[in-house]
Structure 1
Amino acid sequence: MDDAARLQVARDMVEAWNTMDWERVVELFAPDGVLHSVMQDPIVGRDAIRGRLAALTDGLERITLEIRTMGVVDGRVFIERRDVFDVKGHHGEVPAVGVLSVEDGHVTEWLEYYDRPTLLRGMGLAADFAH
């Protein structure tokens, strides 16, 4: 894949999140794709990713991944963004960086870097919900 195609997959992923199309999010991952919030264990495979999304999006009313910068470095897509969301009556905003490896039109690995306590506060949670 060339860089333009990698960027398009990343844009498609952001759009799937912004429209809360969770099955599309799952489909954009490779069958053995990895979703890894780096402060937690990686989630491997579409079924596991689908399960994690169900837990993460329970009560989610809206989410917008606001892209600040996106580009390709050494074949990986870097996305600097701010995630703005409302969940179960709570409003949150979390700066984040995602690093996506994309092959054959699918995300093979998505590394997420963000401040977890900020995320949890935005979700109205006092304690961590999963590892």
Structure 2
Amino acid sequence: MTPREVIERWVALFNTADAAGLADLYHPDAVNHQVTQDPIKGRDAIHAMFEREFALAKMTCIVEAIHEAGEVAALEWRDPIGLRGCGFFTVRDSRIAFQRGYWDKLSFLKLHGLPVE
């Protein structure tokens, strides 16, 4: 799969809260770094992170744009309640090797009625 196809699959799995399916898109030693938190290393840890996050709030990713350059894809997204962000994915051998996400955690917590840390 191309990086764009991997990201399109990632969005589809994210929108069904499929933590196991999402984790399978990552290399075993992948890193997921959402800049609002410490990096998560390894497919198992990434799977656990998605399970925790999906239990916390209902999330939907609406694609604004996907840009692809070589092995890197950038995802610009929004959600139905007003949050916006972007993610950068390095894809090797049809699996995500590295992901970095940028979004406003304070807005996320407030929009979902969650306690502000």
Same fold (TM over 0.5): yes
1:111 aligns with 2:64: no
Where does structure 1 lack aligned partners over 5 or more consecutive residues?
Answer: 85-91
Paired residues in the alignment total 117
Letter in 2 for 1:116: K
In the alignment, which residue of structure 1 is the partner of 2:10?
13
Q: Distance in 2 between matches of 1:15 and 1:105?
A: 16
Q: Distance in 2 between matches of 1:59 and 1:43?
A: 17
State which structure, 1 or 2, has the greater radius of gyration over its C-alpha atoms.
Answer: 1
1:46-74 Cα shifts (integer Å, max 9, x gaps) = 111122112211154x4321111111135
Q: 1:27 aligns with which of 20, 24, 28?
A: 24
Q: Give the SS at the match of 2:55.
A: coil
Q: Distance in 2 between matches of 1:59 and 1:115?
A: 16
Q: Distance in 1 between matches of 2:112 and 2:48?
A: 18
Q: Which is richer in strand?
A: 1
Greater RCO, 1 or 2 (C-alpha within 8 Å, sep 6+): 2
| Runs of 4+ deviating beyond 2 Å | none
Q: Distance in 1 between matches of 2:100 and 2:13?
A: 17
Q: Give the SS at the match of 2:115.
A: coil
Where does structure 2 lack aligned partners over 5 or more consecutive residues?
Answer: none
Higher deviation after alignment, 95-104 or 51-60? 51-60
Q: Percent identity?
A: 27
TM-score, normalised relative to structure 2: 0.90
Alignment of structure 1 residues 1-131 onto 2, 5 Å? 5-60=2-57, 62-73=58-69, 75-84=71-80, 92-128=81-117
